[in-house]
Amino acid sequence: MSEKTLFTRIVEGEIPSDTVYEDETTYAFLDVNPLAPGHTLVIPKAPYERLSEMPPAEAADVFSVLGEITAAVEAAVDADGTTVALNNGEAAGQEVPHVHWHIIPQFEDDTARPIHALFDGAELSDEERSEIAGRIRDNQ
Ligand code: 5GP
C-alpha cells in the first residue's frame, strides 16, 4: 500500500493543524508557512495528486464550499480580495502530491500580486493560438 500523504495525515489528526472546515469529503486548514495572514488550504480528503484525477462529483463537492470558505477567510482577516490557486504538478511548483487549493488573502495597501506576475508571457500568433485551442479540444 502506498504511503499516506502529508495532508492525509493532517486529515486523520496524526499531524495537528488549524482546521477551519470539514465535511464528509472536504477539509480546510491554515497553511503552516502562510504567504499572508489567513492563508488557507482546501483539499479533498481523498489523496488525488492532480486535479484531473478527481472524479467530477468530488471536484464539485470541493467547489460547492470553496467560495464560502474564501468569503470566511476574507472576513476573518479583513482582506480586500484573495488569490485562489492550485499548483497542479511538480512543474507548477506543487510540493505536496495531494491536490489542494490555496486561498491567499490580498490587501489594497499591499502590492497586488496577480498570477500574471508569475509568467513572462508567450508571444503567439492568432494561428498558433487557434491551433493550440484545437489540440485542447481534441484531447478532451
Ligand atoms: P504546494 O507547493 O504543494 O502548492 O503547497 C504546499 C503547501 O503546504 C505550502 O504552502 C506549505 O507551506 C504547506 N505545508 C507544508 N507542510 C505543511 C504542514 O505540515 N502543515 C500545514 N498546515 N501546511 C503545510
CA angle 17, 21, 24 (to 5 degrees): 105
Strand order in the sheet with 19-22: 19-22, 26-30, 40-44, 101-106, 81-85
Sign, CA dihedral 72-78-79-81, equals positive
Q: How many residues belong to the chain?
A: 140
23 CA to middle of ligand 1, Å?
20
pLDDT in tens, the chain (140 residues): 469 999 999 999 999 999 999 999 999 999 999 999 999 999 999 999 999 999 999 999 999 999 999 999 999 999 999 999 999 999 999 999 999 999 999 999 877 788 888 899 999 999 999 999 999 999 99
Residue 29's pLDDT is 98
Q: Is 100 a catalytic residue?
A: yes
Residue 27's pLDDT is 98
How many whole angstroms separate alpha carbon 97 and alpha carbon 114? 24
CA contacts within 13 A on the Cβ side of 31:
19
Domains and CATH numbers, the chain: 6-138 (3.30.428.10)
Helix (H, G, I), strand (E, B) or coil at 42: strand
**Cβ of 35 less than 6 Å from ligand 1:** no
**Cβ of 27 less than 6 Å from ligand 1:** no
**Cβ of 31 less than 6 Å from ligand 1:** yes
Q: Cell match 511548483: residue?
A: 93
